[in-house]
Amino acid sequence: MRLQGKVALVTGGASGFGAETARRFVREGASVVILDLNGDGAMQVAKEAGNAKGLKGDVTARTDIDEAVRLATKTFGRLDIVVNNAGWTHRNKPVMEVSEDEFDRIYAINVKSIFHMARAVVPLMSSQGGGSIINIGSTAGIRPRPGLTWYNASKGAVNLVSKSLAVELAPLNIKVNCVAPVIGETGLLEAFMGAPDTPETRARFIGTIPLGRLSRPADVANACVFLASDDAEFLTGVILPVDGGRTV
């Protein structure tokens, strides 16, 4: 029960990394609000998890972020942890084939959402005496693959903004860390691969990962639990690769 008594907000929590992180947080004693465009999915995960609330919302809209924060404080009394997990990618393809709409959507979901969240929660966490913000970056922002240039760049921004926020918010006792998974078993897998999810395609990507498999939602959830817990009270500005050795 490493998160006993803490309150968390997890974005993109209706599936994949976010859903497993929300479930693990509840099992570790936290109360959780799950925000996702898929409102029904968020509510279903919340129902399955137990001490959680699901909410439909768009992380690119400040009003929806504010509503999620209000739900957390109204229902559970405070907000200690935020996991900025919601993310999106264009399909793996040549850089000149990526449209402006795709570019804008990548940056709105992957980067601007963190801007909105910081503005919404930093004053609250400061008034409470501190907090923990965990951004889900990517190995794409450390060791990029071809065909995902603008996604890679957006995750490079997430990785770096985590370090910059960590330095700036440290005097407020707000820790900011980043989990950087390698390509994983989520609904975006085929988009990242740019090909059907066949054993042959998986083998090609797994061949670049020394520990010999894709990342799994449980891997990311485990890292988030650690960074959100008091075990990590002296860690901030960390980019934690959950990558089976991909970035070595």
Q: What is the CATH number of the domain that holds 221?
A: 3.40.50.720
177, 134 in Cβ contact below 8 A?
yes
- HSE-up (13 A, CA, CB side) for residue 7: 20
- HSE-up (13 A, CA, CB side) for residue 117: 33
In this model, does residue 186 exceed pLDDT 90?
Answer: no
Sign of CA dihedral 97, 101, 107, 113: negative
Residue 61 domain flag:
yes
Residue 171 domain flag:
yes
Residue 88 domain flag:
yes
Confidence bin at 223 (pLDDT 50/70/90)? very high
Integer Cα distance of 244 and 62 in angstroms: 35
Average per-residue pLDDT in the chain? 94
Q: Which domain holds residue 151?
A: 7-242
Q: What angle do CA 171, 226, 163 make, to 5 degrees?
A: 40
Output the CA–CA distances (angstroms, integers) from residue 150 to 26, 51, 210, 225, in the order listed.
Answer: 34, 37, 25, 29
For residue 195, the model assigns a pLDDT of 75
6, 228 in Cβ contact below 8 A?
yes
- Site of tokens 């990548």: 106
Residue 1 domain flag:
no
pTM of the complete model: 0.93
Residue 38 domain flag:
yes
Integer Cα distance of 75 and 132 in angstroms: 19
CA 143 to chain centre: 18
25, 225 in Cβ contact below 8 A?
yes
Residue 177 domain flag:
yes
Query: Is 107 a residue of the active site?
Result: no
Confidence bin at 63 (pLDDT 50/70/90)? very high
- Terminal CA-CA length for the chain: 32
- HSE-up (13 A, CA, CB side) for residue 234: 0
Identity of the amino acid at 173 = N
Identify the active-site residue in 25, 107, 151, 192: 151
Residue 248 domain flag:
no
What is the number of domains present in the chain? 1
**How do residues 30-40 score in pLDDT, each as one tens digit?**
999 999 999 99
55, 225 in Cβ contact below 8 A?
no
Residue 126 domain flag:
yes
